[in-house]
Chain A
């Protein structure tokens, strides 16, 4: 019987407490019997400690804190890489929300077609190009998507289903999932006609996208998540306002809110992130934040195509989690299949 040693990636992840419980136990069992892997882990640990132990360094000059004096009405803008300067956005606390509770989970997604590049000719994209949305990770049944590219209909992902496509009726789902391509966050209803193909048209103001919104309650977590996409201005490559809101029905530990754009090839771009320093929401309390995104712009440049917008709520790690493995995003991912 041959001994299969632990690879570097496994050792590194084990060092960070980033392995699943079963995998971690298997690693421990191997380490108990394999001195060679034990030595490799010790070396890797020493390497990590060497970096962690590097001294702090005093800045060579004083920080310019004149921006602190600016009024809220004249918020300063960071220089340098301006496109990312907007990725940290204000989080504002909302008045108490009275929200019903029905379901369970902590991530919400809206997929919508976007054109961020050079306008193409009019007309709808072919069905062949329409993405099927596939639930590939996370807890089944926790995701919601709106596939405007294909049918402009909303369809919930059913619990346990490996594949879902935008062919549903678009009305509120039985378990309380609902999405609307045109209505506000609280307005759920029938899908809009298939006029949101995401392509600029010759008549009227060209639209690179349409408004979309979704809301869902997660009873087990005591959370309700809502997100919306608002075409802040018309035109190809125009700005989109993406908002994410969360409210709590009881005291819930919530650390951070994040909005992502996920391209068809799976590239995930953080659009904005906000955090709750107190680390929790009280019963009836809510928080929201929004980002303005130049539609289709990502770290890789400007790309036309279909994007999924994702709203994640990061919950604190469980008490038993090692210090560094500190995020439990309960994230679901939906990508074009």
Chain B
């Protein structure tokens, strides 16, 4: 099983780069999955993940400290890195379109550039997963990002608010609208996805 995240983090605080590398190896697929779905571009997602890793290492290594932010989804490092990756992705989204776009209440400003049938997309298990990916891509960038940060990345409302630099109430309302819109897209594509167990 190897060292726990907590132990590896402790080693990171002592400047152990190998420990940080091990943490990244362990969680990079989740983090990349978050980035590519927010950005909709494989290369940019890879660049964002790379940037986020450097930022995280800078935060952990010099004087000792590092990760935290929620104990859900497998521990502090995962959650903390999800926040950094999300923030990096949002900054990239902002950089490639008008700065006000993310603040627009209606979302739906920029359609997600379809990355095409990437190898990883093709590898997704089953039609359902493909339908979910397609439904997400149908959302505006703002709505997609908030849903992914919350429901895939596990960020708290507060972390999302800080990442998007919007008030908490905006996160709450935007997330609700995004989920409802996503639900509509899923219904259109594959209603079975929304079948709930009795």
Contact = CB atoms under 8 A, between A and B. Distances in A.
A267 interface: yes
Nearest to A300: B99
Contact of A76 (B54, B120, B136): B54
Contact of A68 (B20, B88, B165, B175): B20
Nearest to A13: B172
Contact of A11 (B10, B28, B125, B176): B176
Interface residues of B, number: 99
A314 interface: yes
B151 A52 contact: yes
Contacts of B49: 59, 63
Interface residues of A, number: 79
Interface string B114-151: 00001110011100110011001000000000011011
Given A13-B172, A44-B180, A59 B156 contact: no
B182 A277 contact: no
A300 B100 CA distance: 7
A43 B165 contact: no
Interface string A47-77: 1101110111111110111011100100111
Contacts of A93: 63-65
B194 A91 contact: no
A269 B6 CA distance: 30
B172 A9 contact: yes
A5 interface: no
Given A59-B32, A60-B42, A90-B58, A13 B176 contact: yes
A60 B121 CA distance: 11
A213 interface: no
A299 B94 contact: yes
Interface string B1-40: 0000010011001010110110010001110110011000
B51 A16 contact: no
B157 A90 contact: no
Given A68-B17, A78-B54, A91-B59, A327 B196 contact: no
B65 A16 contact: no
A275 B80 CA distance: 8
B179 A58 contact: no
A87 to B, nearest CB: 7
Contacts of B51: 78-81, 85
Given A90-B62, A277-B67, 6 more contacts: A46-B194, A48-B151, A79-B51, A80-B91, A81-B91, A300-B103
- 4 closest A-B pairs (Cβ-Cβ)? A68-B17, A92-B63, A91-B65, A275-B68
Interface of A: 8-9, 11-13, 16, 18, 42-48, 50-52, 54-61, 63-65, 67-69, 72, 75-81, 83-85, 87-93, 255-256, 258, 260, 266-270, 273-279, 287, 289, 298-301, 314, 316, 323-327, 329
